[in-house]
Amino acid sequence: MYIKKPIYPLSVVSVALMAACSDNTTTSASEDDGIATTEEVTTYTCNDGSVANSADECVSGVSDSTTTTVYVCSDGSQTANASDCAATVAGKSSTSGKSATSGNDNVYDPTSSQEVIEQVVAEAVTYQEAEGDLKLTFSESGLTVENDGNSCVTVDNEKKRATISCAGNYYLSGKSSDFQVVVAASTDALVYLYLNGLDLTSASEAPFYVQSAEKVFFMLVDGSENKLADASTRTTIWKYTKNGSAKEDTTSATIYAKDDITFKGNGKLTVTGNYNNGIHTTNDLRIKDVPTMNVTAKNNAIKGKGSVDIEGGIYTIKATNGDGIKSDEGEDEGSVTDNTKGKIVITGGEFSITAGDDGIQAYNYLLLADSVSTPKITVKSSGKGIVSDNLIYINAGIVNVTASDDGIHSNMNVYFNGGETTVSAGDDGVHADSTLMINNGIVNVTKAVEGFEGWYIIAKGGKTAVTTSDDGWNAAGGSADGSTASGSQWGGPGGGGAASKSVGYIEIYGGYHYLYAAGGDVDVLDANGSVKMSGGVVILELGSGGMGGGMSSNRPGSQGGSTSGSCSTNMSGGIIDTDSGISVTGGVLLGFGSQTESMVNCSSVSFTAGTAYGSNKAAFKPSVSGSMIVFSNDVGSSVSSVDVGSMSTVELANGMTYYYK
- Read off the pLDDT of residues 190-209 as tens digits, 9 standing for 90 and up: 999 999 999 999 999 999 99
Q: What percent of the chain has pLDDT over 70?
A: 71
Q: Is the pLDDT of residue 16 over 50?
A: no
Supply the pLDDT for residue 89. 36
Poorest-confidence range of 78-82, 272-276, 488-492?
488-492
Poorest-confidence range of 159-163, 282-286, 476-480, 657-661?
476-480
DSSP string, 615-647: -SSEEE--SS-BSEEEE-TTT-S--EE---TTS
Q: How many Cβ atoms sit within 10 Å of the Cβ of residue 359?
A: 30
Residue type, 266: N
DSSP string, 344-356: EEE-S-EEEEEES
Q: What percent of the chain has pLDDT over 90?
A: 64
| 284 or 4, greater pLDDT | 284
3-state secondary structure of 312: coil
Query: Which residues lie below 8 Å from residue 186, measured CB to CB, with a gap of 6+?
Result: 167, 212, 213, 214
What would the pLDDT profile of 450-472 be if each residue is shown by its tens digit? Answer: 999 999 999 999 999 999 999 99
Q: Which region holds residue 433: left if phi is over 0, alpha if psi is between -120 and 50, else beta?
A: alpha
Number of helices and strands (H, E) in the chain?
A: 1, 60
Q: Is the pLDDT of residue 489 over 70?
A: no
| 357 or 291, greater pLDDT | 357
Poorest-confidence range of 96-105, 237-246, 352-361, 400-409?
96-105
Distance CA 209, CA 180 (A): 8
Q: Is the pLDDT of residue 353 over 90?
A: yes
Per-residue pLDDT band at 569 (split at 50, 70, 90): confident
Q: Are 349 and 311 in contact (CB under 8 A)?
A: yes
SS (H, E, C) 431-450: EEEEEEEEEEEEEEEEEECC
Mean pLDDT of 568-588: 88
Q: Is the pLDDT of residue 27 over 90?
A: no
99 DSSP 8-state letter: -
Mean pLDDT of 112-133: 45
What would the pLDDT profile of 544-567 be if each residue is shown by its tens digit? Answer: 754 433 322 222 222 333 344 568
DSSP string, 22-86: --S-EEE--GGGTEEEEEEEEEEEETTS-EESSGGG-TT-EEEEEEEEEEEETTS-EES-GGGS-
**Within 13 Å, how many C-alpha atoms sit on residue 95's CB side?**
13
3-state secondary structure of 13: helix
Q: Is the dihedral of CA 284, 289, 290, 295 positive or negative?
A: positive
Supply the pLDDT for residue 478. 65
Strand-pairing partners, residue 285, are 261, 308
Distance CA 557, CA 536 (A): 22
| 78 or 147, greater pLDDT | 147
Supply the pLDDT for residue 330. 65
Q: Are 378 and 354 in contact (CB under 8 A)?
A: no
Supply the pLDDT for residue 28. 35
Q: Is the pLDDT of residue 1 over 50?
A: no
What would the pLDDT profile of 495-529 be if each residue is shown by its tens digit? Answer: 444 445 678 999 999 999 999 999 878 999 999 99
What would the pLDDT profile of 418-448 be if each residue is shown by its tens digit? Answer: 999 999 999 999 999 999 999 999 999 999 9
Poorest-confidence range of 48-52, 150-154, 362-366, 651-655?
48-52
Nearest partner of 396 among 67, 16, 62, 138, judged by Cα: 16
Q: Is the pLDDT of residue 595 over 80?
A: yes
Query: For residue 616, which phi and psi values (nearest 5 degrees)?
Result: -75, 0
Strand-pairing partners, residue 634, are none
Supply the pLDDT for residue 371. 82
Per-residue pLDDT band at 86 (split at 50, 70, 90): low
Supply the pLDDT for residue 3. 34
Query: Which residues lie below 8 Å from residue 84, measured CB to CB, with a gap of 6+?
Result: 71, 73, 77, 215, 217, 262, 264, 286, 288
Q: Is the pLDDT of residue 168 over 90?
A: yes
Supply the pLDDT for residue 406. 98
Residues counted in the chain: 661
Distance CA 321, CA 148 (A): 42
Mean pLDDT of the chain: 81
Supply the pLDDT for residue 239. 81
Q: How many Cβ atoms sit within 10 Å of the Cβ of residue 374?
A: 19
Q: What is the pTM of this model?
A: 0.78
Q: Are 337 and 303 in contact (CB under 8 A)?
A: no
Supply the pLDDT for residue 329. 87
CA 190 → CA 123, 167, 265, 369, 592, distances in Å? 22, 5, 17, 29, 64
Q: Is the pLDDT of residue 14 over 60?
A: no
Supply the pLDDT for residue 546. 44
Helices marked H in 384-494 = none
Supply the pLDDT for residue 352. 98
End-to-end CA distance of the chain: give it in Å, rounded. Answer: 53
Supply the pLDDT for residue 389. 95
Q: Is the pLDDT of residue 235 over 60?
A: yes
Where is 538: in which H helix or E strand?
A: strand 537-542
Q: Is the pLDDT of residue 259 over 50?
A: yes
Supply the pLDDT for residue 547. 41
| 81 or 280, greater pLDDT | 280
3-state secondary structure of 15: helix
Q: Is the pLDDT of residue 316 over 90?
A: yes
